[in-house]
Amino acid sequence: MPALGEISYSRQACIDAVRDYYKFLILLHLPGHYLVEPPEAGWPHITPENARCLGKTDEVVALLRHLPYLRADITTSWEAQGAPDTNFADWSDILRMSMQKSWQQGEIDEDSRIMSEGLVFEEDTVPAHVISLTYGAGNTERFLLDTDLGVIYWLDCRSEIKGFTPMDSYPERVLDDAWDYAESDEEALWRDCGAWAVVDFFEMLKHQFCKLNFYPVGEGEVKDVWRAGTKKREEIRETFRQHGWPDFETYRIEECLAAIRVMY
């Protein structure tokens, strides 16, 4: 397991890792036009002034300004899930809508805070240097990127994913205990998280798909096998294998997704 001292934050590495993962999802199940890229100078409306309502640091705003995003086609009912029960945040679109409101100096957009960070947090619990990569209500998973430490926290991460065994080949979690890197009032929240270096986090998610622990049901929905019975779990995995998975050269995406949808 890597130690925090071996990890550092890089804005460009974060941008590249997010883009690479979104391209992976397009190969797997999402339409290509869902990936939207920022202009060369970044999303013009993501500025420190316009993003004051998020209560985040200038570095967070700079990162959001240059990230690519997944944007679902509004003419369909599909969402753009990138993991089970998980929609990645399109902060460009979120802030565009937030700009239509009149925020007072220092006022926080509580709706966006709750949709991105969840209801479990009290005001100011999530540090200003940490931003959520996911957005949604209810059981949406929470992936929080720490721009100070260069790690991503997965809140309420499943034990099957968080647990490490020597035979596992996917990237290892951060070695340090939450007591080592969290403020005293934050420690209880981070304690049961899975935490990975940014690049490792997205490689870990890819691993879950390649091993068919995660799988798409259609263009916009992703499920995990742990909530399926043993028999159905194997049927799902065999269906993907029959359609060429995980070899992208032979994977027949449309046929495979059509066959999976029949199972639901």
Euclidean distance between CA atoms 96 and 93, whole angstroms: 5
- Whether 12 has a pLDDT exceeding 90, the answer reads yes
- Beginning with the edge strand found earlier in the chain, give each strand of the sheet holding 151-154 in spatial order: 130-132, 143-146, 151-154, 194-197
Residue 260 in domain: no
Query: Average of pLDDT values for 193-203?
Result: 92
Tokens of 64: 């959001």
Q: Which amino acid is at 63?
A: L
Which range, 10-19, 70-79, 186-195, is most confident?
Answer: 10-19
Residue 249 in domain: no
pLDDT of residue 56: 94
For the chain, what is the domain count? 1
- For the stretch 239-254, pLDDT in tens is 999 999 999 899 998 9
Question: Could you tell me which residue, 190 or 85, shows the higher pLDDT?
Answer: 85
Residues 6+ apart with CB under 8 A from 102: none
pLDDT of residue 106: 57
- For the stretch 136-188, pLDDT in tens is 887 889 999 999 989 999 988 888 888 655 445 667 777 656 555 555 555 55
Peptide bond preceding 246: is omega within 30 degrees of 0, i.e. cis?
Answer: yes
Contact (CB, 8 A) for 154 and 141: yes
Contact (CB, 8 A) for 178 and 191: yes
Domain holding 107, by residue range, is 4-211
Q: Provide the pLDDT confidence category of residue 232 given band limits of 50, 70 and 90.
A: confident
Residue 92 in domain: yes
- Whether 2 has a pLDDT exceeding 80, the answer reads no
Residue 233 in domain: no
Its pTM surpasses 0.85: yes
- For the stretch 106-135, pLDDT in tens is 577 788 888 898 865 555 578 899 999 999
Residue 164 in domain: yes
Residue 81 pairs in a beta bridge with 87
pLDDT of residue 104: 57
For 209, the enclosing helix (H) or strand (E) is helix 198-210
Residue 251 in domain: no
- For the stretch 85-98, pLDDT in tens is 899 999 999 998 87
Q: Provide the pLDDT confidence category of residue 190 given band limits of 50, 70 and 90.
A: low
- For the stretch 22-55, pLDDT in tens is 999 999 988 899 999 999 999 999 999 889 889 9
Residue 229 in domain: no
Separation of first and last alpha carbons in the chain: 38
Tokens of 199: 């690049």
248 to 29, 30, 75, 188: CA distances (angstroms):
12, 14, 28, 41
pLDDT of residue 252: 94
Q: What percent of the chain clears pLDDT 90, i.e. is strictly above it?
A: 46
Residue 56 in domain: yes
pLDDT of residue 166: 44
pLDDT of residue 79: 64
Burial annotation 150-183 (CB, 10 A radius, 16+ → b, else e):
bbbbbbebeeebeeeeeeeebbebbebebeebbe
Query: Average of pLDDT values for 59-86?
Result: 84
